[in-house]
Amino acid sequence: MENFDQLTEEEINRIIEMAWEDRTPFDAIQAQFGIAEAEVIKLMRRNMKLSSFKMWRERVQGRKTKHAQKSPEDLDRFRSRMQKGIALNKISKR
């Protein structure tokens, strides 16, 4: 999905939020939005300040929890228990 123009602003914001989360693997983003890791990186580079992007890349590079195959076996959820509830990619009503 090289064309990010098809995504809404809310979807882009959610993808960026998921990419920043330590426990959300790139596989979860691909399952929900159909965007592979390389495309997430392009989207992050395009929508973030350079300094923020560099900080994110440094944090993510080599992180085991961002790749499902490298994650601990007991990690079977996409999000932290502390994260707000999300249903069908929409923030639940407060």
CB 32 within 8 A of CB 26: no
What is the domain partition of the chain in residue ranges?
4-91
What local confidence, expressed as pLDDT, does residue 24 receive?
Answer: 85
DSSP 59-91: HHTT-GGGSTTTS-TT---SS-TTSPPEETTEE
Helices (H), 21-68: 26-33, 37-47, 50-60
What local confidence, expressed as pLDDT, does residue 92 receive?
Answer: 47
What local confidence, expressed as pLDDT, does residue 23 receive?
Answer: 80
Q: What would the pLDDT profile of 46-75 be if each residue is shown by its tens digit?
A: 999 999 999 989 888 877 666 555 555 555
Residue range 74-80: mean pLDDT, rounded:
54
Q: Judging by beta carbons within 10 Å of its beta carbon (0-12, 13-18, 19+), is residue 32 exposed, middle or buried?
A: middle
Residues in the chain, total:
94
Residue with tokens 């399952």: 31
What local confidence, expressed as pLDDT, does residue 94 receive?
Answer: 42
